[in-house]
Amino acid sequence: MGLLKTALYEVHREFGAVLTEFAGWEMPLRYGRLGEEVMSVRERVGCFDVSHMGRLVLSGERVVEFLNYVSSNQMDVREGRTRYTLVLNERGGIKDDDVAMRLGEEEFLMVVNAASREKILSWMREVNEDKGFGVDIRDVTFETVMVAVQGPEARQLVHGVVGQEFTMKKFRVRRAEVLGSEAVVSRTGYTGEDGYEIVVFDTDVG
């Protein structure tokens, strides 16, 4: 079986990316000099295709109770907020670290690490069935595109792409539209600089 490819794969090739294998995916490692790309993120802005990361939509009346059961953190956050958490096994051991975004009263979008997606999906479905939570768990990884925009000028770039001003605080999320497709935009970051994540529910945007 060949390596998986994101919806932006051909874009990476067109712009001359150096590609590498990561967690079963063929991903861009860099475009030019690594040091220059690092400084671009530190001083201006950089975009990362993180579509290889797993994206799970969880919904149902007991979705908060379910997430509290499988996570280390309390997930009864208000709608429009995100929370960093750990997914735990039955002994309290760590299976993965994840970010959960509350999109509605009974709906969350959870982003999991690429190498852990199948393991986490299987574990959650097992717990959901065994404990009777009645939560709907959908893997939308291959139906969506995810891009991270990182750096001091991240907000301006996101505004230009989405066409809306995003002045939301850290660890917030809201629905948006990107190129005519449904999307969600969160503000978390992972580089030490300001950062936004855009998830588009349409792989044709690539």
User: Per-domain residue ranges for the chain?
Assistant: 9-51+144-205, 55-139
Instruction: Say if CB 46 and CB 25 are below 8 A apart.
Output: no
User: In CATH, which of 3.30.1360.120, 3.40.50.720, 3.40.50.10490, 1.10.3210.10 is domain 9-51+144-205?
Assistant: 3.30.1360.120
Q: What is the CATH number of domain 55-139?
A: 3.30.70.1400
Of 166, 204, 206, 162, nearest in space to 187 by CA: 166
> 186-190: long-range contacts (C-beta < 8 A, 24 or more apart)?
186/82, 186/99, 186/101, 188/82, 188/84, 188/99, 189/148, 189/150, 189/154, 190/148, 190/150
pLDDT value of position 98: 97
Of 53, 133, 168, 150, nearest in space to 99 by CA: 53
pLDDT by position in tens, the chain (length 206): 689 999 999 999 999 999 999 999 999 999 989 999 999 999 999 999 999 999 999 999 999 999 999 999 999 999 999 999 999 999 999 999 999 999 999 999 999 999 999 999 999 999 999 999 999 999 999 999 999 999 999 999 999 888 877 778 999 999 999 888 999 999 998 888 999 999 999 888 65
pTM: 0.93
Of 184, 157, 163, nearest in space to 81 by CA: 184
d(CA 72, CA 183): 27
Strands 107-112, 94-104: pairing kind:
antiparallel
Of 92, 94, 73, nearest in space to 84 by CA: 73
